[in-house]
Amino acid sequence: MTSKSEKPHIDIGVRLKMVRKHLGYTQSDFSRIHNFSQPQYANWESGFRRIPIESAAILEERYGVTLDFIFLGRLKTLPHNLAVAFGDSPLDK
């Protein structure tokens, strides 16, 4: 089992993965569409690295996924449709 010290940003990565999967993209497609390098995005999603706020802001602007949700997991700051979709999703998948 991987420890939090090995993947310090795993909670953020799980939420990024939820967003990507909700939108129906592969990691490769999602990276390409947003001009993120695929290895860089994979590190964010896996929790090895934290997504920079500037990159997270792109997701907020494009999809309404709030920075509070990405960084802190706060569902109540999301638009209703996203809060409902993510509220029913287990965060550990």
Question: Which range marks the domain in which residue 52 is found?
Answer: 10-86
Whether residue 28 contacts residue 38, with contact meaning beta carbons closer than 8 Å, is answered with yes
Distances (CA, A) of 35 to 8, 49, 90: 24, 17, 28
**Does residue 55 sit within a domain?**
yes
**Does residue 5 sit within a domain?**
no
> Percent helix, strand, coil in the chain (nearest 5)?
60, 0, 40
pLDDT at residue 93, rounded to an integer:
37
**What CATH number is associated with residue 45?**
1.10.260.40
pLDDT of 90 strictly over 70: no
- Averaged confidence pLDDT in the chain: 90
Lowest model confidence (mean pLDDT) among 4-8, 13-17, 31-35, 74-78: 4-8
Domains contained in the chain, number: 1
**Does residue 46 sit within a domain?**
yes
**Does residue 27 sit within a domain?**
yes
**Does residue 92 sit within a domain?**
no
